[in-house]
Structure 1
Amino acid sequence: MKRAIWIVLDSVGMGAMPDSKQYGDGDVNTIAHVYEHCNGLELNHMISYGLGNIEGMKALPRYESPKGSFARMSELSKGKDTTTGHWEMVGIYTEVPFPTYPNGFPEEIMKAFEEKIGRRTLGNCTASGTAIIEELGEEHVKTGYPIVYTSADSVFQIAAHESVISLEKLYEMCEIARNLLKGKHEVARVIARPFTGEEGHFTRTANRRDYAICPPKPNLLSYCEEGGVPVVAVGKIEDIFNSQGITEAIHTKDNNDGIAVTLECMTKHQEGLIFTNLVDFDMKWGHRNDPASYGKGLEAFDKALPQIVEALKEEDILIITADHGCDPTAPGTDHTREYVPLLVIGKQIKEGINLGTRKSFADIGQTLCELFNLPQLKIGESFLKEVYK
């Protein structure tokens, strides 16, 4: 059995898709705008594998003889969030967007939720996660009422101070919400958002937990499970797929931890799929409109890339991509509807192959199905034969 290492740089988009205005986005380009804001970035390793050569890539320099294969990927599904992006990558097309609540959740939902948890709530609005705890954190600490909020994405988020509502209780509240949100109100994810600190200095912790809906089958991960292909999930991958098709899951504290765990897994697991999500780009820097830190994060990953490449075995494939955009220079704090980059690296991967603009994120899943001799997905076109020596 071969091995694939798949790293999702969460939210590292590379330019507006043709339909981005339908999603409220204008001239968005996460990589280019971060690069320009920082007056250039040290991304020499990713650039050497073809990042700047990707069709439509702006700002980044081209490399004369790229050492990897590369492409720009279009999102076929309707949406611009984590679930939609990751699901499409494994072969699930989301034709009808998950429900969103720009004006807060309806009374029928909130009343039922408050009855189930035995207390009132605060918020019930669209907000930035960092802004809402600054606005309502003090009142939450005084009353013990959890803060409920959403975003432009299909999420029901519950924030609570860890000293006021225990993690165990917060997770229980999330499970209650998950069970309530069915039918037309079945949001993609319920998210626990614990925080600590004092007024004026509240800080979200690493104890976040996502409660996603189960992905429909078949998909790459369900095929892996049926075909005996082990899947090791690093970061929030397990949450996104509600543990479906996951052999082993390791949650991480931040990007650096995610990279370290991925390297450990490459030593420990000699076959199958190692599937990693590095969420700091999105959670800490994109949503918080912090292009400077976003740039430092990109540089940190680029600096670690040679160590990851060095750990590849002879027939390994390393895939680096993203699930959507989150341009930190754009108005607002939400995801942005963008193309995403694709780098394919390995000792058996052809150098300098331009895979153009792919029609769907599912091309990755279809490629891995072919790699592992699994059935074909319903969507996506494999690029394995184009890149494999």
Structure 2
Amino acid sequence: MKRVFLIVLDSFGIGYEPDADLFGDVGANTLHSVSRSKAFSIPNMEKMGLLRIQGTEVEDQVKTYQNEPEAAFGRLREKSAGKDTTVGHWEIAGLISKKAFPVYPNGFPDEIIREFEERTGKKVLCNRPASGTEVIRDYGEEQMKTGGLIVYTSADSVFQVAAHEGIIPVEELYRDCQTARELLKGEHGVARVIARPFEGEPGAFRRTANRHDFSLEPSSDTMLDYLKREGLDTIGVGKISDIFAGKGISRRIPTKSNTDGMEQTLKLLKEEFHGLCFVNLVDFDMVYGHRNDVDGYARALNEFDTWLGVFQKGMQEEDVLLVTADHGCDPGFPGTDHTREYIPLLVYGKPVRKGVDLGSRETFADIGKTVLDYFHISNQLDGESMAAEMLV
């Protein structure tokens, strides 16, 4: 029974793209920055061929394996007009976004905020670009006193809403975010509205694991829609279902952390299903990349790499594993925003030829095209399939 496990290491870029100057990201390289950490050790991904990928750079102390790589390997360039989670995942799934989502470097327009306040009955605090941890530090106490909503954004196309769980219950915050999602369409159609609940006391606030994303629906079919129409399983682990607004997803498994996501994926490896398991491990981006935590990022990669060795041993005859990313978020680069980078691709399993260099691909969409080829599903997705190059 054919199964594909597609795992996205959220933000694990491997070097800036040719158009990085348009994004202020020339010089960004998430892999290289993380490799500077003494905690960096990823032997399983190295054996698969990670460091054989064109253009990869790591610090000298990192070991490179001389044996034939155990996987097919390559890098992919983003063709979409953006560098955020939504367009990255949509492009992986075969949909290139030619128009960028709106961003708000000066905060959201007054008319949007007034309408949001009227619909929710709550006062808006902040309304400017901000770090998620800093904004609850600066506005958390006021939010608790007033019962308002902390609204903020970033360099990405996001409308983020934070509230203390003890003041506004999580389900109520989700309803408020759904209200924002209904409001933010057309000209102001941001990619994601994100609920950001927190807990704790002034001076010691912390975000909880109850984040929830409310995304726009993809503008056309993705590989998920094609798979589902053919009666195949499409399992979204982590925030995958949120990113695609549930479109094309047959089963949703939310997670609270990378560790939880890996545990859920290992459980699915032992289940019988036919189709795709699409996984997002968000901590690389949310917990480490955006917070410029190089050592934390390295330790998270180590944890994944150790888990990867266990996962590989449990794979079945027709299982194919793809490990990739959706953009960069270089923790050693100035600023805390995503970075315009190539993403890695490692493809492993008995149906895959070992040591195949897939080169430098023109779009992330080659992944979705290849997945559908493996299941022999004709499609009109963007991208070019790699199946003939790497499948036995």
* Short-chain TM bin: over 0.9
Structure 1: which 5+ runs fail to align?
A: none
Letter in 1 for 2:49: G
| 1:120-161 C-alpha deviation (Å, 9 max, x unpaired) | 110100011111111111111111111000000000000000
Cα distance in 2, alignment partners of residues 33 and 333 from structure 1: 14
Matches within 5 A, 1:182-197: 182-197=185-200
CA drift at 1:61: 4.5
Partner of 2:5 in structure 1? Answer: 5
| 1:85-131 C-alpha deviation (Å, 9 max, x unpaired) | 00001111101100000000001100100111112110100011111
CA contact (8 A) 1:50 1:62 kept: no
Partner of 1:388 in structure 2? Answer: 391
Matches within 5 A, 1:305-384: 305-384=308-387
Cα distance in 2, alignment partners of residues 278 and 192 from structure 1: 18
CA contact (8 A) 2:223 2:381 kept: no
Partner of 2:20 in structure 1? Answer: 20
CA drift at 1:373: 1.6
Partner of 2:294 in structure 1? Answer: 291
Structure 2: which 5+ runs fail to align?
A: none
CA contact (8 A) 1:89 1:362 kept: yes
Cα distance in 2, alignment partners of residues 81 and 246 from structure 1: 21
CA drift at 1:217: 2.2
Cα distance in 2, alignment partners of residues 74 and 225 from structure 1: 27
**1:258 lines up with 2:261 in the alignment:** yes
Partner of 1:94 in structure 2? Answer: 97
**1:144 lines up with 2:147 in the alignment:** yes
Partner of 1:44 in structure 2? Answer: 43
CA drift at 1:311: 1.5
Cα RMSD for the two superposed structures? 1.0
Number of residues paired by the alignment?
388
CA drift at 1:216: 2.1
Cα distance in 2, alignment partners of residues 111 and 220 from structure 1: 39
Helix, strand or coil at the partner of 2:5: strand
Structure 1 stretches of 4+ with a deviation exceeding 4 A read none
Matches within 5 A, 1:53-64: 53-59=52-58, 61-64=63-66
CA contact (8 A) 1:29 1:338 kept: yes
Cα distance in 1, alignment partners of residues 31 and 117 from structure 2: 42
Helix, strand or coil at the partner of 2:252: strand
Cα distance in 1, alignment partners of residues 26 and 142 from structure 2: 36
Matches within 5 A, 1:168-317: 168-317=171-320
CA contact (8 A) 1:219 1:377 kept: no
Question: What is the TM-score normalised by the length of structure 1?
Answer: 0.98
| 1:189-213 C-alpha deviation (Å, 9 max, x unpaired) | 1000000011111110110000001
CA drift at 1:218: 2.1
CA drift at 1:318: 0.2
Matches within 5 A, 1:102-121: 102-121=105-124
Cα distance in 2, alignment partners of residues 112 and 242 from structure 1: 23
CA contact (8 A) 1:53 1:61 kept: no
CA contact (8 A) 2:163 2:173 kept: yes
CA contact (8 A) 1:193 1:209 kept: yes
Question: What is the TM-score normalised by the length of structure 2?
Answer: 0.97
Cα distance in 1, alignment partners of residues 153 and 380 from structure 2: 32
Letter in 2 for 1:246: I
CA contact (8 A) 2:233 2:273 kept: no
**Aligned-residue identity in percent:** 50
Cα distance in 2, alignment partners of residues 230 and 270 from structure 1: 7
Letter in 2 for 1:27: G
Helix, strand or coil at the partner of 1:268: coil
CA drift at 1:40: 6.2
| 1:168-198 C-alpha deviation (Å, 9 max, x unpaired) | 1101110110011111000001000000011
Helix, strand or coil at the partner of 1:273: strand
CA contact (8 A) 1:8 1:321 kept: yes
| 1:320-349 C-alpha deviation (Å, 9 max, x unpaired) | 000000011111111111001000000221
| 1:203-250 C-alpha deviation (Å, 9 max, x unpaired) | 101100000011122220111111111111100001000111111111
CA contact (8 A) 1:231 1:245 kept: yes
Partner of 2:129 in structure 1? Answer: 126
CA contact (8 A) 1:174 1:192 kept: yes
CA contact (8 A) 1:125 1:150 kept: yes
Helix, strand or coil at the partner of 2:270: helix
Cα distance in 1, alignment partners of residues 249 and 379 from structure 2: 19
Cα distance in 2, alignment partners of residues 315 and 169 from structure 1: 44
Helix, strand or coil at the partner of 2:8: strand
CA contact (8 A) 2:320 2:348 kept: yes
Partner of 2:169 in structure 1? Answer: 166
